[in-house]
Structure 1
């Protein structure tokens, strides 16, 4: 049984687009989310005088991955002001501290390193860190303390709209298949969208009627190395999540099609019949 959690989000100026202060009822982890344009307004926030880790977040790229820089500082506001002068890409900062103010330099260095490693593993953002941060040496007790903080950090940052540490929940029993022209793919419909599995094949040639947005998406997937041409077909080099079954199918086909009707399970039942018309 899944146990629920409650997150409190406080809006200091009652503006949902402004500064947000987030915490759990049952945790010492606190987050301060700051739009870059509101950095001056955040200067009076006491949490930003503490040690902590922070994430600078920029726009999503052509395939939907935000740019993210992970850092740590013993005085968060000082470091944010420095980045405000020196880094252009970001428009949002999310800082994490302890309500007990009991994080030290070794803790936050370990958190910084662990966050970078996890972000690379999950691969849902583009890291702006030029070098991987050094991992500090901790006792087993301190390491476990830091990792518990990271687990709560993951939930809060995803709740704020950046699920960069969330592994997509997969159910290998519900695999759907697509065949069209030379294209051949398999994938899964999830809460995040439709995932096309690594190794799926997409047509290189495109239909004259292909929608401009699909054409652009295919070009970007090739540019990012997610699609690679092999023996006259594009091959997916990694699992990739599309916003909808139809977008996924159109990319594989290189033309227009209804993904709800062309993705089918091993028994030939369409995604439309299984998901949308099951009742």
Structure 2
């Protein structure tokens, strides 16, 4: 049985678009989320005088991954003010501190390194850090404390709309296929979108009637190295999450497509569409 958690979100100026203070009821981890335009409004927050780790977040890139820079500072406000003058890409900062103010320099250096490594591993953001920060040396006790802190941090990040450390929950049981001409793709419908598996194949030649947005998105996937041409077909170089089944099918088939009809699954002796399995069951049509 899953045990629920409660997160408190406090709006100091009662503005949902302004500064947010986020914390668990049963944890020392506290986050301060600050729109760049509200940095001056947050300058009197005592949390920003503490040591902690921070995330600078910018717009999503051409394939939907947010730009993220990860850093640490013994005085968060000082570092944020410096980035406000020197870094252009970001529009949101999320800072993490301890409610007990018991993070030290070694802790936050370890957190910074671990966060960067996890961001690269999960691959849900475009990391702006040029180099992976150095990992500090900790005792086993301090390392476990920091890793528990990170586990809480990533839940708050996801709650604030940035699930960059969350592995997609995959069953590997309900795998759908999409085939046409050279295209031969396999994927799964998840809570985060439709995931097309690494190694899936997509048609190279696009139909004349393909929507420009799909054409542009395919070109961006090629530019980013997510799609690579091999023997006259595009091959997915990694698992990739699409925002909808239709965008996934359109990219695979190189034409405008209805993903609810194009993604299919073998069900005993029958072939069922994604629509049959998901939407018809949800609205009682089956």
Would you say same fold, with TM above 0.5? yes
Counterpart of 1:218?
Answer: 218
User: Please, which of 274, 277, 286 is the counterpart of residue 274 of structure 1?
Assistant: 277
Map Cα deviations across residues 180-238 of structure 1 (whole Å, 9 max, x no partner). Answer: 12211000000000000001111110001001110010000000000000111100000
Aligned equivalents of 1:61 and 1:210: distance in 2?
Answer: 22
Instruction: Confirm whether residue 145 of structure 1 aligns to residue 149 of structure 2.
Output: no
State the SS of the aligned residue for 1:118. helix
Number of matched residues?
Answer: 279
Map Cα deviations across residues 17-75 of structure 1 (whole Å, 9 max, x no partner). Answer: 10000000000000000000000111000000000000000100010001111000000
Counterpart of 2:21?
Answer: 21
State the SS of the aligned residue for 1:169. coil
State the SS of the aligned residue for 1:188. strand
State the SS of the aligned residue for 1:269. strand
List alignment gaps of at least 5 residues for structure 1: none
Counterpart of 1:229?
Answer: 229
Aligned-pair CA distance for 1:140:
0.4
Counterpart of 1:69?
Answer: 69
State the SS of the aligned residue for 1:217. helix
Counterpart of 1:245?
Answer: 245
Aligned equivalents of 1:235 and 1:221: distance in 2?
Answer: 11
Aligned equivalents of 1:145 and 1:258: distance in 2?
Answer: 48
Counterpart of 2:182?
Answer: 182
Aligned equivalents of 1:250 and 1:277: distance in 2?
Answer: 22
Kindly report which structure 2 residues correspond to 1:62-211, keeping only aligned pairs within 5 A, or say none.
62-211=62-211
TM-score by length of 1: 0.99
Aligned equivalents of 2:181 and 2:249: distance in 1?
Answer: 12
Aligned-pair CA distance for 1:264:
0.8
List alignment gaps of at least 5 residues for structure 2: none
Map Cα deviations across residues 75-105 of structure 1 (whole Å, 9 max, x no partner). Answer: 0000000000111111000000000000000
Aligned equivalents of 1:214 and 1:227: distance in 2?
Answer: 14
Aligned equivalents of 1:258 and 1:76: distance in 2?
Answer: 48
| Structure 1 segments (4+ residues) deviating >6 Å | none
Aligned-pair CA distance for 1:266:
2.2
Aligned equivalents of 1:166 and 1:69: distance in 2?
Answer: 17
- RMSD over aligned CA atoms reads 0.6
State the SS of the aligned residue for 1:144. helix
Aligned-pair CA distance for 1:256:
1.5
Aligned equivalents of 1:274 and 1:224: distance in 2?
Answer: 33
TM-score by length of 2: 0.97
